Amino acid sequence: MLSSMLKGVCMASLLLAVIYVAFISLGLPDSLLGAVWPTMSQDLAVPVSWAGGISAVISLFTIVSALLSDRMTLRLGAGRVTAISVALTAIALAGFSVAPNYWVLLLIAVPYGLGAGGVDAALNNYVAIHYESRHMSWLHCMWGVGASIGPYIMGYALSNGQGWPWGYRYIAILQVALTLILVLSLPLWKSRGRAAAEANGVDSAAGEGVGADAASSAGTERKPLGVAGVLAIRGAREILIMFFCYCAIESTAGLWASSYMVMHAGVDKVTAASWASLFYVGITVGRALSGFLTMRFRDPVMIRIGQVLVLLGVVTMFLPLPHHLGIVAGLIVVGLGCAPIYPCVIHSTPAYFGEENSQAIVGVQMACAYTGTLLMPPLFGIIAQYVTISLYPWYLLLFLVLMVAMHERLRKLRG
């Protein structure tokens, strides 16, 4: 029995390592387009602003994929959905490297978005069910690692005269390698499902099926909930609005930080670009630290800690400190505050709504996340252009207040 337990622990740890690598891979291409678009737009003879079209198509189909994740995971299981999604991303990245014009890039952005949404929703829910909160925080830290490495790989290709197509090819090759690793790891996913099924007193055969891992763990057969089914669950609307608000804060803070420093505080462009990156450093470092803090504090407490830090960061931006230290320190603190919120909201979803409902809810959460990322930063861009960019911290504060209100209401309904 002891050897069986040790074997189970080893397999769970090995699978977790595979999932971490998958999330590094998920982050690798996410920062490529913004980093290389000035060069790509010149080569393709299109305006710089047209990057928004590619980003919008990717986001749109990421939302579609996230909404379909419950149905696909029930049919195929989290392991197969992840492998297929990463393969789609690899194909899309290879397609980017040979695209002859902008319109082909738009077409290739479709499988890119479908792959990104599928792996995001499937892995987030799987880790939320099968692993502890610290693993979820470190999982999203791995995404930050991937997002940081991607531009360096592209920079290597550009600095060696290979051009941006080879930058995309290098990332595509890494995605193909990961796809092979995921395919080879499929028996680990099945073993994990069997172990979970046996732990729940279910016939071990139930854990070997290709249906959703959560459903097989619980030994239940169910149909996909769909968006209407998710919205009918008490507390679901609150957690979805909360997630939307969080992603509005993170994406707006990251996208407009540099412009705010230049246009509001008079910081030079080069310095502002460097300082703005500290926001993402705060998130990545914060998620590494959050993993340790979750050993002491439960998810709701971690979320509240994050919200308090975001508030402190926004308030710090208003302080008239010399050399614009208030803005810089505020951005770092906002990043640190953002760090625990995203992973802890996802990790708490099965506890609030049950494992049988979590994949559907996490899928809609991902859709809300990408909707917030797609719509709210451009909305602030309109405000900045036609009103004033000085409203940047107030805009973040507005979504923070709404997020806090939804979280406290969720706690009353499901706590």
414, 352, 349: which is closest to 121 by C-alpha? 349
Q: Is the pLDDT of residue 217 over 70?
A: no
Query: Same domain, yes or no, for 58 and 183?
Result: yes
Query: Same domain, yes or no, for 171 and 283?
Result: no
Query: Same domain, yes or no, for 249 and 380?
Result: yes
Indicate the residue among 141, 176, 195 that finishes a domain.
195
pLDDT for 404 equals 97
For residue range 24-37, what is the model confidence (pLDDT) as tens digits? 877 888 767 766 77
Note down the domain range covering 56: 21-195
Query: Same domain, yes or no, for 302 and 399?
Result: yes
* Burial (CB count <10 Å: 0-12, 13-18, 19+), residue 252: buried
The reported pTM is: 0.76
Q: What is the DSSP letter of 131?
A: S
pLDDT for 206 equals 39
Query: Same domain, yes or no, for 363 and 309?
Result: yes
Indicate the residue among 180, 195, 210 that finishes a domain.
195
Q: Is the pLDDT of residue 117 over 70?
A: yes
Query: Would you place residue 410 in the very low, low, confident or very high pLDDT band (cuts 50, 70, 90)?
Result: very high
**Largest CA-CA distance found in the chain, in angstroms, rounded:** 68
DSSP calls for 299-323: HHHHHHHHHHHHHHHHHHHTS--GG
181 to each of 17, 142, 254, 378, how far by Cα in Å? 11, 17, 33, 38
CB contact burial 219-246 (16+ within 10 A = b; e otherwise): ebeeebbeeebbeebebbbbbbbbbbbb
Q: CATH code at 156? A: 1.20.1250.20
Query: Would you place residue 214 in the very low, low, confident or very high pLDDT band (cuts 50, 70, 90)?
Result: very low
* Burial (CB count <10 Å: 0-12, 13-18, 19+), residue 81: buried
Query: Same domain, yes or no, for 368 and 255?
Result: yes
Domain count for the chain: 2
Q: Which residues contact 397 (CB under 8 A, 6 or more apart)?
A: 311, 314
Query: Same domain, yes or no, for 73 and 146?
Result: yes
Query: Same domain, yes or no, for 250 and 162?
Result: no
Which tokens in the block code for residue 141?
Answer: 């830290």
Query: Same domain, yes or no, for 130 and 189?
Result: yes
Query: Same domain, yes or no, for 78 and 27?
Result: yes
| Residue 400 contacts residue 249 (beta carbons within 8 Å) | yes
Q: Across 154-158, 212-216, 407-411, which has the greatest mean pLDDT?
A: 407-411
Asked, for residue 202, whether it belongs to a domain, the answer is no
Asked, for residue 240, whether it belongs to a domain, the answer is yes
Asked, for residue 1, whether it belongs to a domain, the answer is no
Q: Is the pLDDT of residue 406 over 90?
A: yes
Query: Same domain, yes or no, for 276 and 146?
Result: no
Indicate the residue among 195, 218, 251 that finishes a domain.
195
| Residue 132 contacts residue 13 (beta carbons within 8 Å) | no
Q: pLDDT higher for 218 or 62?
A: 62
